[in-house]
Amino acid sequence: MAFLNNNKSKANIVMLKKSVFVLNSLVSKNIRAQYRNSTLGVVWTVLNPLLNMLVMALVFGQFFGRTMPNVDYPVYVLAGNTVFGLLRMTTTSGLTCMVENYDMLTKTRIPYYVFPVSHLLSAVVNFGFSFIALLIVMLIRIPNGVKFYWTMLMTIVPFLPALMLFSLGIALILATMYVRFRDIKHFYGVILTLWTYLTPLFYNDAILSPKVRYLMNFNPMYHFVKYFRDIVQSGIVPSLESHLIIYGCGIAALTIGLLAFGSQKKKFIMYI
């Protein structure tokens, strides 16, 4: 019996080693695939958020910029989008990952978790590039009163792991549902647009009515975005409550995601 267990744990280690290799390969492929055949290549990963920010700052700066005299609007917009971008990228590509990798699922032997996790890690790499863009903008905006705070370091820990848990959880739930119901893709597209507008990415939540602001508390992304802006833009160490909220959301989403994915994964092969 002991021998059997030993054999099993050995097999698990081999599987884990394999998963790491596959993840490595998938992530670097995902990143390169995004900007394949473009002249500037990887430069786009930084340029893209920069240009997007520029457009938003130009368009919305006139409308919403005036409602927040104390913060620098371009940095405000870019910070919000950097956070939301990780969720958007992980969930939209995670949604279809099981169906798209049909060939790999039915003809090779790799743990299914590799696919959603690879999309999460690609999104984290992208987050890194967006963060570089954010730093560039902050440098440029120093004359306008932007300051750098040490609290920015809290992005890596504890902020990023919580956001990763949350995004992966949502991606797992969506991937599981998409295998059974192909409507989810279109449905989620609409939900995501709604979610983007219901999160104060380019407007200040101070302009909302008290009632809506209360409801805003039930939007997990509101707390993530607020936390990130606190540490990057305002130099505030968030309260214990903020930490509990973001980790609570992260762990809850991941638990539901793992339960859903785990209970259905053996059936994936039948439905795809």
Partner 1 sequence: MEDIITEIQYDDLIESTGNTPILSDSYSEVEREILIDVKDVSMLFRLPAEKIDNLKEYFIKFLKRKIKYKDFWVLKNINLQVRRGESLALIGRNGAGKSTLLRLIAGIMEPAKGEITTKGVMAPLLKLGAGFDSNATGKENIFLNGAILGFSKKEMAKKYNSIVEFSELGDFMNVPIKNYSSGMMARLGFSIAVDVKPDILIVDEILAVGDAPFQKKCRTRIKQLQDSGTTFIVVSHSMETLKSLCQKAIWLKDGKIELSGSVAEVSSSYLKYCNEVSLDK
Residues making contact with partner 1 (CB under 8 A): 14, 17-18, 21-22, 24-26, 29, 32-33, 103-110, 180-184, 266, 269-271
Residue type, 154: M
CA of 260: how far to CAs of 173, 177, 253, 254, in Å? Answer: 6, 9, 11, 10
Residue type, 203: Y
Query: Which lies closer to partner 1 via its Cβ, residue 26 or residue 56?
Result: 26
Q: Tokens 């005036």 — which residue?
A: 66
E strands of 16-55, at which residues? none
**For residue 46, how far is the Cα from the chain centroid?**
16
* CB 55 to partner 1: min, Å: 29
Query: Which lies closer to partner 1 via its Cβ, residue 18 or residue 213?
Result: 18
Query: Which lies closer to partner 1 via its Cβ, residue 7 or residue 217?
Result: 7
13 burial (CB, 10 Å; 0-12 / 13-18 / 19+) is exposed
Query: Which lies closer to partner 1 via its Cβ, residue 14 or residue 212?
Result: 14
Q: Is the dihedral of CA 226, 30, 56, 144 positive or negative?
A: positive
Number of H helices, E strands in the chain: 10, 0
* CB 105 to partner 1: min, Å: 8
* CB 32 to partner 1: min, Å: 8
What is the distance between the alpha carbons of residues 235 and 240, in angstroms, rounded to a whole number?
16
Closest by Cα among 243, 244, 201 to 221: 201
Query: Which lies closer to partner 1 via its Cβ, residue 226 or residue 265?
Result: 265
* CB 123 to partner 1: min, Å: 18
* CB 88 to partner 1: min, Å: 21
Query: Which lies closer to partner 1 via its Cβ, residue 29 or residue 66?
Result: 29
* CB 104 to partner 1: min, Å: 6
Residue type, 78: L
Closest by Cα among 266, 267, 169 to 220: 169
